[in-house]
Amino acid sequence: MRSRKKTETPAGSSEIFEALATLEQAHGISMDFMLDRIKKAIVTACKSSYGNDDCIVSIDPARGLFLVFLNKTVVADVTEPGKEISVEDARNIDPTAVEGEVVSVPIDTKQFGRIAAMTARNIIRQGIRDGERSRMLQEFESKQQEVVSALVDQIDPRTGAATLIIGKSEAVLPKSEQVPGETLRVGDHIKVYIADVKETERGPRAIISRIHPNLVRRLFEAEVPEIYDGTVEIKSVSREAGSRTKIAVVSHNPNVDAVGSCIGAKGMRVNRIVEELGGEKIDIVEYSDDPCKFIASALSPATVVEVVPAKDGSHACRVSVPDEQLSLAIGNKGQNARLAARLTGWKIDIKPQSGFFGETDETEMDEESESEQEE
C-alpha cells in the first residue's frame, strides 16, 4: 500500500504555541517536551474516538501549524469508518486514490469526543507535572552540595518551616535546619546549602540547610579568591550554628598568608560572611601537619603552653594553658574545646599550667596504674 500525499489543513492555531511558549518561560518546561506529550495525547484521543491510532501529528512551531492526519485504507464498502474510507471520499483528498491504498485524512481535533478530549487533557497535565519534576530535579542536582541564593516565600506559623524560591523551584527549609535565634521573614534573601536531592512520590525534594558546616566552607570559597584558585585550602570546619565556627586553613604558597587571606583587608571578607550568618563568630586558624601545633592553633583565642599526646597512640592529648586562660580555652559551656576537638579530630583534655587540684604527676599516675594491674 502507498501512502498518499497529505493535504496541509491546520487543525489548530498559533495560540497553542503561544501558550506553550508562556509555559516554557513561566515554568521552565521546554516546548519540545510538551509537544511530545501533546502528540501522545492526540494518538490516545484518535484511538479512543476512531478506534485507530495510526495517525500522523505534524507540528511546525515556526509556522504556527498544528496538523493531524488519520491514516485510512481506501475500500469499496466501508465497515470500519475509523480505519477505512470510501473510494469517492478518498478521491476528494487525493484524486488518484485507488482501492487498497492508504490515504492520510486531515482531522479537526475539535471533533474528538468528550472522553477522548478529557483523556488528552489529562495526558497533557501529566506531561506538565512530569516536565516540572524533571526540571526541578535537574536544577537541584546541578546545585547539589553548593550554596544558592533563595527568596523566603512563606513561613508556616505552626512549624516555623520556610518555603523558599530557588531559581524557578521551591524547597522547604525546616525549622531544625534554620540557624538558632535567626528570624526569617517573607521577602528575605538568604543563602542555603543544598546538602542532598531526593526523588519522592511528590517529586524531587532538595535537602537544604542553614546550619551545615559546608555552608561556611562554600561561603569562604566564594568570598576568598585564594581559596577558589587553590592557593589556600580549607582543611576542616567545625560549627555550632548561630554561635561559633572554627575553620582551619593552610596556604600552598609560602608568600600567601592563609589566615590573612580569609580575614581580608580590615576584616572585610570574613565580616561579609559573619553578616550573612547573622553575627555568628568565626575563628580562622592555621592548619599544621604537626598535630600538636594544629591543636594549639585550634584552641585559639587561648594561648597554649604545651600539648602532650597520649602514649598509646590514640588521638587524645593533654593541653596545658596559663591558669588565667583556662576558662577561655574551655569556652562557654565547653564550646571552644568542643569545636577544637571536632576541628582536629582529637580528644582534648585541658588543664591549667599549675596543674589540676590534687593531681599527681603523670609518671606517678602511670606507675600506680601498672601496680594496680599487677595486683
pLDDT at 123 over 60: yes
Cβ atoms of 11 and 25 within 8 Å: the answer is no
Is 294 part of any domain?
A: no
Does 85 share its domain with 36?
Answer: yes
* Pairwise CA distance, residues 370 & 264, whole Å: 53
| The pLDDT value given to residue 113 | 54
The reply to whether 282 and 306 lie within a common domain is no
Task: Confirm if 46 and 53 have CB atoms less than 8 A apart.
Answer: yes
pLDDT digits (tens, 9 = 90+) for 40-89: 878 888 888 888 889 888 877 777 777 888 999 999 898 898 899 999 89
Q: Does one domain contain both 21 and 124? A: yes
Give 92-148 as a DSSP string: HH-TT--TT-EEEEE--GGGS-HHHHHHHHHHHHHHHHHHHHHHHHHHHHHTTTSEE
115 and 221 in a single domain? The answer is no
pLDDT in tens, 341-365: 999 999 999 999 887 544 444 443 3
Average pLDDT (122-132) is 68
* pLDDT of the residue at 15: 62
pLDDT the model gives residue 37: 78
What is the chain's mean pLDDT, rounded? 83
Last-in-domain residue among 133, 151, 177: 133
Confidence of residue 121 (pLDDT cuts 50, 70, 90): low
pLDDT of residue 3 exceeding 90, the answer is: no
Query: Which has more confidence, 49 or 92?
Result: 92
Q: Which CATH number does the domain housing residue 191 bear? A: 2.40.50.140
Q: pLDDT value at position 357? A: 44
Give residue 214's pLDDT: 94
Q: What is the CATH number of the domain that holds 352?
A: 3.30.300.20
Same domain membership, residue 157 and residue 184: yes
Query: Over the stretch 205-257, which tens digit does the pLDDT of each residue have?
Result: 788 999 999 999 999 999 999 999 999 999 999 999 999 999 999 999 999 99
pLDDT for residue 110: 67
Residue given cell 518555603 in the structure block:
163
368 domain residue, yes or no: no
**Residues of the chain with pLDDT > 90: what percent?**
48
Residue 166 parent element (H or E): strand 162-166
**Are 234 and 254 members of one domain?**
yes
**Domain identity same for 203 and 226:** no
370 in any annotated domain: no
pLDDT of 290 > 90? The answer is yes
Residues 247 and 352 in one domain: no
Mean pLDDT, residues 283-302 taken together: 95
Domain boundary residue, one of 133, 167, 184:
133
* 110 and 20 in a common domain: yes
Give yes or no: residues 156 and 128 share one domain: no
In a domain, 8, yes or no: no
Cα separation of 251 and 249, whole Å?
A: 7
- Which pLDDT score is estimated for 375? 36
Domain that holds residue 148: 143-208
Report yes or no on 138 lying in a domain.
no
Query: Within this chain, do residues 129 and 160 fall inside the same structural domain, yes or no?
Result: no
Q: Is residue 371 part of a domain?
A: no
Give the range among 8-12, 65-69, 333-337 with minimum mean pLDDT: 8-12
Question: What is the rounded CA–CA span in Å between residue 29 and residue 44?
Answer: 22
CATH label of the domain that carries residue 73: 3.30.1480.10
- Are residues 266 and 311 located together in one domain of the fold? no
75 Cβ neighbours under 8 A, 6+ residues apart: 84, 85, 86, 87, 99, 100
Predicted TM-score (pTM) of this structure: 0.62
For range 308-329, the mean pLDDT: 92
Domain boundary among 175, 208, 241: 208
Identify the pLDDT of residue 372.
35
Q: Is 51 inside any structural domain?
A: yes
Residue 212 is placed in which grid cell?
551545615
| Total domain count, the chain | 4
In a domain, 71, yes or no: yes
Q: Is the pLDDT of residue 203 over 70?
A: no
Best-predicted range by mean pLDDT (17-31, 50-64, 301-315, 360-374): 301-315
